[in-house]
Amino acid sequence: MKFVSEKIIDSIIDLLDSLSDEQTERHMEQFAEEQPVLVAYLFNDDNFHLLTDDEQGFLQYLALIVWMANQKVNGPVETVPEEVIGEAEEKNYEMLEASTAKNFRDRLNAFFENTPQEDLLAFAEEAVLEDEDNPLALVTKEGREPIFVAVKTVIDVLTR
């Protein structure tokens, strides 16, 4: 897999920002057609019932950005099977729980060691920690972990 750079990620964000809700929805539908199991994972309330509605929508938006950016660089990816998603998610939770750091940002350091997609990972980190000191932030303290792990899982399975 080729490296997905911050420049590509930013270009996808700019593109999505310029689109109407209907156009963005069409991209989401294309994502669902090409990766139905992955999108089902993202929309599964059992996985993300602790997230607010806004956080669930944000997670889906972040995953769309990752998918579009990876597709732009690496082209279409074979449909990811459920077991691959489950294994990746489990590995990511284990890595997060193995960290002894108190601060959430510090707990993410291990993910950056030996990652082939550092810019995508930095995008996921920034997304969940952007307004970490703002009590009115979109991503709550409780939502950081499941959103980060889910986006990291999407990165892992699409770029494996």
Q: What is the DSSP string of 91-112?
A: HHHHHHHH---SSHHHHTHHHH
Residue 115 pLDDT: 93
Domain with 101, as residue range(s), is: 6-74+85-158
Q: Is there a domain that residue 116 lies in?
A: yes
Q: Burial, 75: exposed, middle or buried (Cβ in 10 Å; 0-12, 13-18, 19+)?
A: exposed
Residue 38 pLDDT: 98
Q: Is there a domain that residue 95 lies in?
A: yes
Residue 147 pLDDT: 97
Q: Is there a domain that residue 140 lies in?
A: yes
Q: Is there a domain that residue 99 lies in?
A: yes
Residue 84 pLDDT: 98
Q: Is there a domain that residue 148 lies in?
A: yes
Segments in the chain below pLDDT 70: none
Rounded to whole angstroms, the Cα distance separating 79 from 59 reads: 20
Number of domains into which the chain is organized? 1
Q: Is there a domain that residue 80 lies in?
A: no
Going from the C-alpha of 109 to that of each of 17, 32, 62, 95, 154, the distances in angstroms are 30, 31, 20, 10, 18
Assigned token pair, 98: 């193995």
Best CA proximity match to 59, nearest among 43, 78, 40: 43
Q: Is there a domain that residue 1 lies in?
A: no
pLDDT digits (tens, 9 = 90+) for 48-91: 999 999 999 999 999 999 999 999 999 999 999 999 999 999 99
Full-prediction pTM beyond 0.85? yes
Residue 135 pLDDT: 75
Residue 114 pLDDT: 86
